[in-house]
């Protein structure tokens, strides 16, 4: 949209006429001598300037050949866009809104625009990893901007998401996070908003010969998924399938990012044992 450019247009905004009471348009009523409302120059100028203010606020240049500038500006200002990418991409302010990233073909990198790309006003993206592959999506800064004080953040699980808002100068902050990834099975997991993850499953083994009245075996419990950073809590409980066999289960070492060592013991040589585990991490 652009301002009117007819030969009769003037270079400066004229003042509105004095007087008059604000009201509504009418089609008139000839039967009672009421004329239809005819808008004046001041009303057309007001509509024109209101619309142009939205366009300019979104950082666009007014154009008489682009008839979608109000919509584009609103998408920029309020994150109303929806885009999908399956390749490494540098986002622009026109992508503001929902960004779906498919990393099934390999790890993907999404670069944010400069935090000040909208003329000092905030920009918002909600970036979602849409596929269920093990490939990560890296969201990285532009230039010397920061993201939560760092240079990048990761999405690793299907439907994991981050909502990022720029400060209009040089930084991005995470204002929302979503999980949604889960597998309600055994083994299974649940990813919570913010990145905290619960994982569970079973570990089985056959104990050896008795020694001092006890037989044991050490087994590796491999989690369904690797934690992004670390496991911070773990618990293991034996199933009483033998009956009064003094079954025990314990964690043999600090849990790792993808697995942990579990000890199983009872007082029956060669017995098959099973234990359930729960591990929490981020």
pLDDT computed for residue 180 by the predictor: 63
Domain 79-178: CATH class, spelled out: mainly beta
Q: Are 124 and 198 in contact (CB under 8 A)?
A: no
pLDDT of 268-282, one tens digit each? 999 999 999 999 999
pLDDT, mean of residues 214-224: 96
Specify the pLDDT at position 277.
Answer: 98
Q: Which CATH class is domain 182-281?
A: mainly beta
Band (79; pLDDT cuts 50, 70, 90): confident
Residues of the chain with CATH 2.60.40.3940: 182-281
The pLDDT tens digits for 169-205 are: 999 999 988 876 788 899 999 988 777 899 999 999 9
Mean pLDDT taken over the chain: 93
Say how many C-beta atoms besides its own lie within 10 A of residue 128's C-beta.
Answer: 21
Give the global pTM: 0.66
pLDDT at 31 over 80: yes
pLDDT digits (tens, 9 = 90+) for 57-78: 988 999 999 999 999 999 888 8
- For the chain, where do the domains classified as CATH 2.60.120.640 start and end? 79-178
Q: Give the pLDDT score at 134.
A: 86
């Amino acid at each position: 949209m652009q301002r009117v450019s007819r030969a009769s247009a003037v270079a400066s905004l004229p003042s509105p006429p004095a007087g008059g009471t604000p009201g509504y348009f009418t089609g008139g009523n000839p039967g009672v001598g009421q004329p239809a409302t005819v808008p004046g120059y001041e009303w057309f100028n007001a509509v024109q300037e209101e619309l142009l203010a939205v366009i300019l606020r979104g950082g666009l240049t007014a154009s008489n050949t682009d008839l979608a500038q109000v919509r584009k500006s609103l998408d920029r200002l309020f994150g109303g866009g929806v885009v999908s990418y399956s390749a490494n991409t540098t986002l622009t302010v026109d992508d503001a809104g929902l960004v779906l990233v498919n990393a099934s073909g390999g790890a993907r990198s999404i670069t944010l625009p400069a935090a000040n790309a909208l003329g000092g006003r905030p920009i918002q993206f909600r970036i979602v990893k849409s596929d269920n592959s093990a490939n990560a999506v890296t969201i990285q800064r532009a230039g010397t901007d920061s993201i939560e004080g760092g240079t990048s953040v990761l999405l690793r699980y299907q439907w994991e998401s981050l909502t990022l808002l720029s400060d209009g100068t040089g930084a991005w902050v995470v204002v929302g996070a979503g999980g949604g990834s889960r597998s309600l099975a055994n083994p299974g997991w649940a990813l919570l908003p913010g990145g905290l993850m619960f994982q569970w499953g079973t570990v089985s083994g056959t104990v050896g010969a008795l020694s001092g009245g006890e037989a044991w075996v050490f087994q590796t419990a491999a989690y369904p998924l690797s934690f992004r950073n670390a496991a911070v809590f773990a618990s293991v409980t034996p199933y009483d399938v033998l009956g009064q066999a003094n079954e025990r289960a314990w964690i043999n070492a600090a849990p790792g990012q993808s697995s942990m060592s579990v000890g199983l013991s009872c007082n029956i040589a060669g017995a098959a044992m099973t234990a359930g585990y729960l591990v929490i991490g981020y």
